[in-house]
Chain A
């Protein structure tokens, strides 16, 4: 490569000698006219704007921007931040390439072709809003509010979601962050400890960090990663259970190469060992748990040997892990995880993690689960109204289908209803910031939903795959161009601080929106007016919404801006375990609902002969399927190689870098190919890919068709019975090469 450059340059310069050089250059040189500097200037002397709040993912790091000639040229961590400090991740740094992405949606568009095969015509906002308002109103008039379904994601989707849920009155809202991500974790913990766990684990002060499937390093949230590394630097032992030698496994002291789907069996064996050998925290169990006896009986069958066999790991290693946890309790982090939509048995795994934390007494202690006391904010949005459960699909036929569902309605209930028209028709669809083609399994089924609609509207910043199914497509201002939600938190600024410091950081626009992009309050209000809800509109602008939300904190957008974009105030320590804090080791409530009262292992389907289980996860440079068209991030990881065990690869005759496609056990083929990564760092019975690649929308000029869309291969649907959340790792694939299907060796 280097040689080619030299040679090419050499030839170019040699040929230049034969022709004349442009006169202007010679003249300039001779008259000493100052030439433009060849050296990029750096951003040190550019204007700094404060108040940026990142949304390349949902972690919301606080930023400052560097502006030159009205253009945002760099983003940096806000030096005033006590959360992320001056750090932002790759995605955060690449935010300006989303802002100025040439493929970004610029104007309201009307699909004058077919859904899924759009032909776009630019229309005015007036026409677009009239169309959305009248079509959605027609659906409500004909079918009732339940005739509308909503697929929201991200900060900008909260306001319109509340409008459709509260004011219009549909239950049919499916947030990807709940039903295809963390919802089952949240409800499992709520059923166990009465609150969602978030990621409130004090890894920085932990003696042991226990991760089940978390792959920090590939999955990046800045302050969380900082705490994780602080913990490791402080000497914490790291245990990682993962079928793959993940970025976290590579830093671990103990890697548990567990068989996919068997995590709960593993956790039950650890807990049973702690109980049988009286290595649990008896004081905590006595004071803060319920149902210990029933719980211990229920898990008693899970001996080390039984779990070893089920999970395909050594019994001695299970014991080693249990002993290490017990020896360091209570200052141990049992990480609740985040993305939990794995196998359709995930509620029970969440329960097991919550119960294991209790046995170790690791709630409200240093190094354990330690929720911060955050500043209070006002709640400002569309007024909550009661709409009853008559049209709530989760309550249909007087039966609660998924009693531990997160807020909204389980996606599959909405899709089945939309496609079948039973128990009622769903005819209008609002997609706001979500890309259901790549967040929800079984793309053909999703297409059926869109085909069944009278009207589909999408609002987004980028032309994601789902936007091809819109009738009206609206361009939204990005997180860098609008006011919006507020990040609050509390943290110890210095390790030896007695009290934590609280922070309040609202989102401010860093530059004006370009073209005809509008924010969610404008779009929602205009639609609401057209649907007859003008009198219910809670705020006239996003700025007003944020200021009203700040009221409880006695701050304003103006006061915080003057403080550098972040307000700091003294906080209070999390304190000891609240007296009424109870962990349901055995939950009568869950048992009454018809599910196991104690955490229970539910085996998942085994890998059929000739196949491998398809696993997927995060790339450090991407958030879901939202960032792939970002030119900097794309170049950092242009495709998603498939991880393949080295002995399997040898048997298949595949080597590193070979191009392969996929076919799943239901005969669905991948649209594109990717390359093979050959490694001993993955089990033989599975393959692994980064999520979010291989998009089809031709409007995505950078990432379109690059890598493989693993979601297109996830066609078999698994539903977690308690929560109604999807499980997405129960699909099986074979590799294909040059048109030939390769049977995975036994």
Chain B
């Protein structure tokens, strides 16, 4: 964008002229941009997607650019609904509206959008607001006849009457209604009759909807591809008609507590199109029911049975029917050796397997499993605490193409085993080694995985700067690095990382006590950084934060809890530079009213956590809360509840802000080793 700005001095403002093909040199100066066709400029604009501020800068160059940008924009994600009418007149070609950042979307907002966008509007996302009703939705549905996509999730106050208004949107194809708890069969019935072209419908947590509503959907909306019925009180009455849907590919039945083996036994007609099935947390379903499901859905590619029944030989046998199966997720299920072995035998083309938190995963079971598995790409063995280097040896020798390996808290795996991972699995892109015994030798070996983009080393107390230096030198594509409570890490380790991995987007150095401002100064060179967690780093000061603010313009999430040395001096540059910041945690820092109030200039700011700020006064808090117009969630100490007039909170809640009150007492910092010991005690 800098280039564009240089040009702005040469560009003659073209008054009342938004056609830049018109090569009119009116004597004063000549603009090369006038030679560019609209299409070329649009193509350039298409590529300006990284930072939303870029397009803004572009439009500020000259009037012509301003008009072009207005004409080009299709997607709008406004921060406030108040200014929408004006914004909508500026952007007449908008097709996608994302209102998730607006804390308050009312009927008036929707009416404005409807009359401004008319038939242009294709998609609208209202998933974060609950202040609108059926009236606004009716306006949308009637005026925007080309509306295809509508997200109404979390509209917890929405009633059947509003659902009936949605039904007026005849061309709707994708509809999300997660957590619309007040909607019943009647409302869903209206939608089923009205929106006949629905291809995707999510009714997750719509606990008022039962067999009748879902059954009617299955009868009327024959085009459904994806259906999410999680946590609905549905039973065998509607299941057969759902599985009769000709094009159904993706079905989620998570936590449908009324479905049991008997209700699945009635399924006879096969659903040949179904590819993804999620039946997690259905407590009453055993391998008998699953067997009858699988016998009629033989084209399944992905099965999720998390927190379900025991994975034994019988269940594995029923999986045998699914010849196209590629992915199995069994998180949290009790498993047996025989079951794992049979899965290994039957499902030879597996690409993805998840066994996280499965009790009963042993070396023996995994050895059986991995004798035939060669193509596995994604493996999750989080919290399989019984496995040792035997399993790791088998996994790494048979699945050399592994791209993602998650093995948090496999505490019995010795440090030598991690060398095997680096030696054999060179395609790894994602590696989660949180809470493991890995040491510098292991890291050195893992640094051979040059494609690595996400590496999690939280609570790995054996690693030091030396190992991290290898990572920094070799894994240049690293985007995500988690060093939570890695107490052996100091600034020199960070030097290697920040110097090598310039594309870093997320860094967690929480409770790495040795880290100082130098590290933050180094990180300020990583321009892509959007998430920084450095809580509990006592040496970090406002200086380091200022450097981050100036360098990392993409910053959206910042956690500086318990950075006691950070004060108002750090907030002011943050407020000035980090215009993308959405979430900040300032608890226990030395920030006062002034610093807090300065944050009000960050218009994106939505989530604010301010517990135990010594310098915070009630009036300062009130001023900040009132000044930050976009706040949607604020975590506060409960003592402020009585210190401020109730009217302020009522006002803020009406504006769309949610308060979370915490009673926590001020806690002193623990030694990390002692902390880990506590955690282990708790688990035993």
A and B co-occur in one complex: no
